[in-house]
Structure 1
């Protein structure tokens, strides 16, 4: 986790405060957790917390920033158009889409990222910053990326000439729902095998419909 912070923010106490807040916010929501509870969890006085964060909201802002940094470090920064061209030449559409969901699963295996995802889902109706992150990083960026992929495949006559953005929406929105279900199952330590089979069936069905 250290490498995700600037050097000036790498103090052990500050990191412990952030980790404790992430754990507690992900379980109970931001509003239900007090500064006193965070400092008790960390084992410091309340006054010591304010040496690192001016307010509880500043801790939440740091969590949002951490999520953005983790997305970049986990490969959420999508490949360039040139790289995407090469990827789509090397693999089938079905394999390409399966790799996308596999990447999501690998990312969610990081417990810290999973907790931050929960915080975003809890806070999205209360906090505009959480909504903006979800709408931008989870929805818009993904749809834009898939639209670009389909815009490459259509002229190459690898798939039918449908509207590329509509294809992205038709494919990805069921995946968004299954991603949410996957997170809920993981939260309760339930099996995800059946869901993962459903994802693969969706991918296969979609590719069969759009291929020439």
Structure 2
């Protein structure tokens, strides 16, 4: 039962990433799996429930990854102390790992592609796209940098501008990586950007 539910989720997401959420039907998903719609409905009552399960899975994985890399799992409003204690070395490792995750993990990559395809057709997915890949990460880094400045471990500056400068290459290289199967160069460019950014803004490294 669990294996079948997993296969449905992965297959549905693959179709959503290829054709878009709106265009892919339950019949398409069932056909791809070689099962009837009736058999699929025993596991998920409709396409919306499949979509909700995919989103829930991504949130769950995101929280688990944050915990693994010892960076804040929640927003600053939910857990301010986590932002006051995080180390830049942890953030650096986490950001590099996130790049590999979004480009190489099949589930994450297909999730991102689905959001890109549907963002202009579905306001809810546009909001999700912003939260996962644009305004969400920028706000996250803004909170990290602001708290580091408060702790005097980061050069004083505008935290939002710093967050934009830090995250923009990540997003650009993420998009560029879609055009090639070799993600190594993009990952190396990101690593170089992060090191240069820290050297330019981290007092302990600059001194």
Is the TM-score greater than 0.5?
yes
2:47 is matched with: 56
In 2: Cα distance, 1:201 partner to 1:11 partner: 42
Residue by residue over 1:9-49, the C-alpha shift from the partner in whole angstroms, topping out at 9 and shown as x without a partner, is x6444333222211222223234433322212222222222
Q: CA deviation at 1:162?
A: 1.0
Segments ≥4 residues shifted beyond 6 Å: none
Task: Tell whether the 8 Å contact from 2:118 to 2:125 is kept in structure 1 after alignment.
Answer: yes
What TM-score do you get using the length of structure 1 for normalisation? 0.75
**Are residues 40 and 174 of structure 1, via their aligned partners in 2, closer, same or farther at CA, if it must alter by over 3 Å?**
same
Match of 1:154, SS state, is helix
In 2: Cα distance, 1:156 partner to 1:53 partner: 48
In 1: Cα distance, 2:82 partner to 2:21 partner: 40
RMSD: 2.7
In 2: Cα distance, 1:59 partner to 1:209 partner: 45
Residue by residue over 1:125-154, the C-alpha shift from the partner in whole angstroms, topping out at 9 and shown as x without a partner, is 122222122222333332233222222332
1:104 is matched with: 98
Task: Tell whether the 8 Å contact from 1:178 to 1:195 is kept in structure 2 after alignment.
Answer: yes
1:164 is matched with: 159
What TM-score do you get using the length of structure 2 for normalisation? 0.76
Task: Tell whether the 8 Å contact from 2:96 to 2:191 is kept in structure 1 after alignment.
Answer: no
Q: CA deviation at 1:96?
A: 4.6
